[in-house]
Structure 1
Amino acid sequence: MKLIIDSCSDLSLERARELGADVQPLTIQIGDKSYKDQFEITSEEVIQAIKDGKRPMTSQPNPEAFASMFKEYTDKNESIIYIGFSSALSGTYQSASIAKDMILEEQPDADITLFDTEGASYGIGLIIERAAGYIADGDDKDTVTAKIQKDISNIRHLFTVDDLDYLAEGGRLSKGSAFVGGLLNIKPLLHLEGGKLIPLEKHRGLKKVFKRMVEISNEEGARATGHIVHADAEKAANDLKKQLLEKTDLETINISSIGPTISSHTGDGTIGLFYFKDGQ
């Protein structure tokens, strides 16, 4: 079984290689230049462009790019599992679906399974890490896919951002959902629901948002491993990690930067927390 992923999982290329996953990059355009996510541009470069007043734009891989990647393995009769970015936030999953149909026209017996995680960033990354473990353990395809589906249903995404207007302008959040709070230090708490980014609550200051994240983690039985991502907010990410380790049953919490594509839409100052609910 071969894992195929896209760059919106926010796994580093090194981590993807460790897991045996091939990465299909999205494209980021800044001004008149285009870059392959992670392969040709870093998160730090995207954040600096935003600070310089530029507006990065992103686009999904075309079906031909996915088909070429799939064919490398279907030609060898290998099973493929693609674990992808939310179809409600990007056309990436649709491109993979079209590519699957293209392959099946030529190779009707090709074994390609696609998962729309309805997730983003390291929420997908945690699912991929577990999937790689199931494959390494020697589970059969049906068992692996059943476990992946269960993980998708149990993953939790919690986000806070500095500027909701940035998400709204990029089309990742409805303008009607964006509430103004910059001058009042109002911080939104958002989550993913049905693959869409939805405001959950709003709080006065980051400290209260983190307190609520800790409370929700406990309410939902988070334990074992969690992951925090940030966009140029490492100190805040470490503050959240400290609170979670002290006040929840999470035993291990890793921290990494939000990837170039996701940070293109969230802007700097974003913090994301991911874990599996109900002790899963």
Structure 2
Amino acid sequence: MKLIIDSCSDLSLEHAREIDAEVLPLTIQIDGDSYTDQIEISSEEVLQTIKDGKRPMTSQPNPEKFVSIFEKYVKEQESILYIGFSSGLSGTFQSSMIARDTVLESYPDAEITLIDSHSASYGLGMIVERASSYIKQGDDDESIIAKVNADIEQIRHLFTVDDLNYLAEGGRLSKGSAFIGSLLNIKPLLHVEDGKLVPIEKHRGLKKVFKRMTELAKEEGAAGRGHIVHADAAKHAEDLKQQLLDNTGLDNIEISSIGPTISSHTGDGTIALFYFKKGH
């Protein structure tokens, strides 16, 4: 089974190669120029563009790109598992569905499984990492698919952003949900629900947001591995990591930067925590 993902998993290209996952990159447009996610533009460059007052736009891989990559492995008689960025946040998954139907017209016996992760950033990344481990340990296709779907039910996204209005303007959050708090240093706590970004609480300052993230992780029995991503907020990410190590069952927490595509929609100052709930 060949694992295919898109660049919204926020796995580095090097890490994707290590786990034998092929990455379909999204595209970022700035001032009429197009850049391939992670290949032609970095997260730091995206964030600098935003600081310069520009608005990066992103576009999903078109169905033809999916067709090309699907056909490559179908011709090698490999089954395919594509785990995609949440359909509630992008049309990328829809492109994959169109492509699968196209490929099946020419190769009716092809085995192409598409799974909507209902996840974003390293929430998707952690699901992909587990999928890779199931493939490597030799699980049959049916078992792999069942385990991935179970993982999707248990992955938790908790994050905060500096500016909810930036998310709303980019269409990733309803304008009605973008409550104003910047004047009072109010920080939102958001999660992903049914594949969409949803503000759940608001707190005065980052310390209280981090305390609440830690409380939720403890309440939900988070243990073992967790992952934190950030957009130009490395020190804050380290602060959150230490709180989690001191107060929860999470004892293996990695930190990385949010990828270029996701950064285009969140802006700088974003910090997100991902873990699997108790017993998973």
TM bucket normalised to smaller: over 0.9
Q: Give the drift of 1:251.
A: 1.3
What secondary structure does 1:176 align onto? Answer: helix
What secondary structure does 1:201 align onto? Answer: strand
**Residue aligning to 2:4:** 4
What secondary structure does 2:177 align onto? Answer: coil
Report whether the alignment pairs 1:272 with 2:267.
no
Cα distance in structure 2, aligned partners of 1:196 and 1:116? 12
**Residue aligning to 1:258:** 258
**Residue aligning to 2:186:** 186
**Residue aligning to 1:238:** 238
Cα distance in structure 2, aligned partners of 1:133 and 1:232? 30
1:105-124 matches, cutoff 5 A: 105-124=105-124
Q: Give the drift of 1:278.
A: 1.7
Q: Give the drift of 1:183.
A: 1.6
Structure 1 stretches of at least 4 aligned residues deviating more than 3 Å after TM superposition: none
What secondary structure does 2:183 align onto? Answer: coil
Cα distance in structure 1, aligned partners of 2:172 and 2:143? 34
Cα distance in structure 2, aligned partners of 1:226 and 1:30? 33
**Residue aligning to 1:147:** 147
Q: Give the drift of 1:279.
A: 2.7
With normalisation by structure 1, the TM-score equals: 0.99
What secondary structure does 1:157 align onto? Answer: strand
What secondary structure does 1:149 align onto? Answer: helix
**Residue aligning to 2:72:** 72
Q: Note the alpha carbon deviations across 1:212-261, whole angstroms, 9 max, x for none.
A: 00000011110010000000000000000000011000010000000000
**Residue aligning to 1:36:** 36
**Residue aligning to 2:132:** 132
Cα distance in structure 2, aligned partners of 1:124 and 1:153? 12
With normalisation by structure 2, the TM-score equals: 0.99
Alignment gaps of 5+ in structure 2: none
Q: Note the alpha carbon deviations across 1:132-184, whole angstroms, 9 max, x for none.
A: 10111111101111110100000000110000000000010111111111121
Cα distance in structure 2, aligned partners of 1:119 and 1:229? 14
What secondary structure does 2:175 align onto? Answer: coil
**Residue aligning to 2:171:** 171
What secondary structure does 2:69 align onto? Answer: helix
Report whether the alignment pairs 1:85 with 2:79.
no
**Residue aligning to 1:225:** 225
Cα distance in structure 1, aligned partners of 2:278 and 2:100? 34
**Residue aligning to 2:213:** 213
Cα distance in structure 2, aligned partners of 1:132 and 1:196? 25
Cα distance in structure 2, aligned partners of 1:226 and 1:237? 12
Alignment gaps of 5+ in structure 1: none
Cα distance in structure 1, aligned partners of 2:91 and 2:176? 23
**Residue aligning to 2:22:** 22
Percent of aligned positions that are identical: 71
Cα distance in structure 2, aligned partners of 1:39 and 1:67? 21
